[in-house]
């Protein structure tokens, strides 16, 4: 609890252009939870360097991501929006928790397996220990809930395991967090291969809708979306492409999949694609306009970055000092 409210923490990597999957699976839920919880929304730039980055591009993307959080509707006066690298406690706690995490646990993580297969020339220790840094992010703020897409549930489980292990040795140091997965949009699939999740690092640009895509591009990508040859609109695992289009349409409109299937009964895939495309373009357009406006407001954004790094550090350091004391590091002399 912080100021009488439960605490929420979440973060995104500043690696690439955000997709509709990131928006519907995570960001959209963040916006709706801001009033109810004391929220920390982090740009996890330290996680980003587990894969090689161009420094100038990384810096630019980190700022663009923080701006996007605001443009998507998060009020920076209510929620704490900040860069992970501006709060040293994240890396410090990660080192400590590394010493309470087993190699076997980390090597089972599917994201590690996927990313090490994809970047076989750079399987670094950071990539391996990635979930421990993520656990530190969450545990530093005594977080109650963590809104994420389904792909991150395994990391959340390991975070809870590490926290419970630590609490069992040292007493109640960490709050045990719960995952929060939205009812719709928790796993948006690639438009080109509906067996894979839509991902910002997909090499095929037609597979993902980027949040900054213009309307024509969005409509074109939906038109090209892979479906099947059944020529009938149903919400079924045997028609994953069509199911994905319905999920997207449902997440954007708030309507149920049943309702959408009824609306499109007897109509062609082309009509469903067009409806989904129009709806996504309408949803993204105001966010794009706001991003462009905010990008010009340099002093306003700088102020948010400075203030929030201080606010996050204050809360994070309280937990870090407690942990350091519990494990036997010498107390600071005041
Ligand atoms: P990368 O391709 O670089 O691994 P990513 O697109 O998977 O990145 P992340 O930065 O790992 O994105 O994820 C940010 C948030 O978006 C997480 O909460 C994640 O669960 C969610 N998310 C990512 N992809 C999807 C998707 N296709 N559907 C729903 N949620 C998603
Ligand atoms: N691993 C997450 C990003 C992330 C995160 C976090 C999400 C880093 N730290 C803490 C929630 C809470 C990802 O790849 N999407």
Q: Which two tokens stand for residue 256?
A: 């149920």
Q: Map out the domains of the chain with their CATH numbers.
A: 7-180+298-327 (3.40.50.620), 215-292 (1.10.240.10)
| pLDDT above 90 for 257 | yes
| pLDDT (0 to 100) of residue 298 | 98
Catalytic residue list contains 318: no
| pLDDT above 90 for 3 | no
Ligand 1 proximity of 149 Cβ (cutoff 6 Å): yes
Ligand 2 proximity of 137 Cβ (cutoff 6 Å): yes
Q: How confident is the model at residue 183 (pLDDT cuts 50, 70, 90)?
A: confident
Any bridge partners for residue 12, and if so which?
Answer: 43
Q: Which residues, other chains included, contact 294 with Cβ-Cβ below 8 Å and sequence gap of 6+? A: 67, 70, 71, 300, 301
Tokens 């190699």 sit on residue: 103
Q: Which two tokens stand for residue 41?
A: 């929304």
| pLDDT (0 to 100) of residue 67 | 97
Atom of ligand 1 nearest to the CA of 15: 3
| pLDDT (0 to 100) of residue 201 | 83
The answer to whether 26 touches 64, Cβ cutoff 8 Å, is no
* Annotated catalytic residue, options 60, 78, 113, 115: 115
Ligand 2 proximity of 148 Cβ (cutoff 6 Å): yes
The three-class DSSP label of residue 19 is strand
The DSSP code sequence of 124-186 is -HHHHHHHHHHHHHHHHTT-SEEE--GGGHHHHHHHHHHHHHHHHHHSS-S---EEE--SSSS
Q: How confident is the model at residue 182 (pLDDT cuts 50, 70, 90)?
A: confident
| pLDDT (0 to 100) of residue 117 | 93
Residue 138: HSE in the Cβ half-sphere, 13 Å Cα cutoff: 29
| pLDDT above 90 for 184 | no
* Annotated catalytic residue, options 28, 197, 221, 273: 197
| Cross-sheet strand order for the sheet of 38-43 | 80-83, 38-43, 7-12, 145-147, 178-180
Q: Give me the percent of the chain exceeding a pLDDT of 90.
A: 91
Ligand 1 proximity of 199 Cβ (cutoff 6 Å): yes
pLDDT in tens, 81-130: 999 999 999 999 999 999 999 999 999 999 999 999 989 999 999 999 99
Rounded-to-integer distance, Cα 46 and Cα 53, Å: 11
> Ligand 2: which residue has its CA nearest to atom 5?
11
Ligand 1 mean position, distance from CA 157 (Å): 17
Q: DSSP character for 37? A: S
Q: Which ligand is nearest to the CA of 131?
A: 2
Atom of ligand 2 nearest to the CA of 44: 8
Q: How confident is the model at residue 278 (pLDDT cuts 50, 70, 90)?
A: very high
Q: How confident is the model at residue 1 (pLDDT cuts 50, 70, 90)?
A: confident
């Amino acid at each position: 609890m912080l100021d009488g409210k439960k605490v929420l923490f979440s973060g995104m990597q500043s690696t690439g252009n955000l997709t509709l999957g990131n928006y519907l699976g995570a960001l959209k839920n963040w916006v709706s939870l801001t009033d109810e919880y004391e929220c920390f929304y982090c740009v996890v730039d330290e996680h980003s360097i587990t894969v090689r980055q161009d420094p100038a591009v990384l810096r630019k993307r980190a700022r663009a991501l923080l701006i996007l959080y605001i443009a998507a509707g998060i009020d920076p006066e209510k929620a704490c929006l900040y860069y992970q690298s501006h709060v040293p406690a994240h890396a410090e706690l990660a080192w400590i928790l590394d010493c309470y995490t087993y190699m076997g646990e980390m090597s089972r993580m599917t994201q590690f397996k996927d990313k090490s297969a994809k970047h076989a020339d750079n399987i670094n220790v950071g990539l391996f220990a990635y979930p421990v840094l993520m656990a530190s992010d969450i545990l530093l703020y005594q977080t109650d809930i963590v809104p994420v897409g389904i792909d991150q549930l395994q990391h959340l489980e390991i975070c809870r395991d590490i926290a419970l292990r630590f609490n069992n040795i040292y007493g109640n140091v960490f709050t045990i967090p719960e995952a929060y997965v939205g009812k719709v949009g928790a796993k948006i699939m690639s438009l080109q291969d509906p067996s894979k999740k839509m991902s910002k690092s997909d090499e095929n640009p037609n597979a993902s809708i980027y949040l900054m895509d213009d309307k024509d591009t969005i409509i074109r990508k939906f038109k090209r979306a892979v479906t099947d040859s059944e020529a009938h609109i149903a919400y079924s695992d045997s028609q994953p492409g069509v199911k994905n289009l319905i999920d997207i349409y449902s997440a954007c409109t708030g309507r149920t999949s049943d309702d959408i299937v009824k609306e499109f009964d007897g109509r062609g895939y082309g009509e469903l694609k067009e409806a989904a495309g129009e709806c996504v373009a309408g949803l993204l357009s105001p966010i794009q306009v706001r991003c462009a406006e905010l990008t010009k407001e340099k002093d306003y954004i700088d102020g948010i970055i400075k203030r929030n790094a201080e606010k996050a550090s204050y809360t994070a350091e309280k937990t870090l000092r407690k942990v350091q004391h519990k494990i036997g590091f010498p107390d600071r002399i005041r």
